[in-house]
Structure 1
Amino acid sequence: MRPQTKRKLILDGVVCMLFFFLLCGIFGVFNWMQNGVFHCGALWIIAGMISTTVFAMLAETRLDEERQLKKLLEILTEGKWKH
């Protein structure tokens, strides 16, 4: 795996962590307005599941890009692209 891909994966993780905190804040305010301060429930778990799913999708996209780039470089170095 190239260092650029590793950096992109780490950056995606940070973005998803911030997304998780944003969702927790939104869900927390909504839940607080509905039920009061001490009734935090499944909304925190839902926020975690959503942000984890987003990270998994981003990571899979990054790894697919890495695989496609590797295949393209193999084709170009072997000269298969010439007729």
Structure 2
Amino acid sequence: MTDIRPAQGTHFWFMSLIVPSPVGFDSYRRCGHFTPDPGMTRHDAFELLLAAVKEQSPELRTHAVVISFDVQPNQL
């Protein structure tokens, strides 16, 4: 049987963010997979992924606060 799923990166990540709103806070969740460059640190991955999230979600560009982040190998 041929696998028709697209190839995934070597690592899975997720990020939870909050943004102030007129009635409190709005929460957002973003996740995905990627393959880090050789020598990349967790901090490098966080900065790279946060920049990508903000690029793709204009509402998160100015006042978003990350409340959780994780990156793990994408193999069970």
TM-score by length of structure 1 reads 0.27
Bigger proportion of residues as helix: 1
State the structure with more CA Rg: 1
RCO comparison, higher one (Cα < 8 Å, 6+): 2
Q: Which has the higher strand share?
A: 2
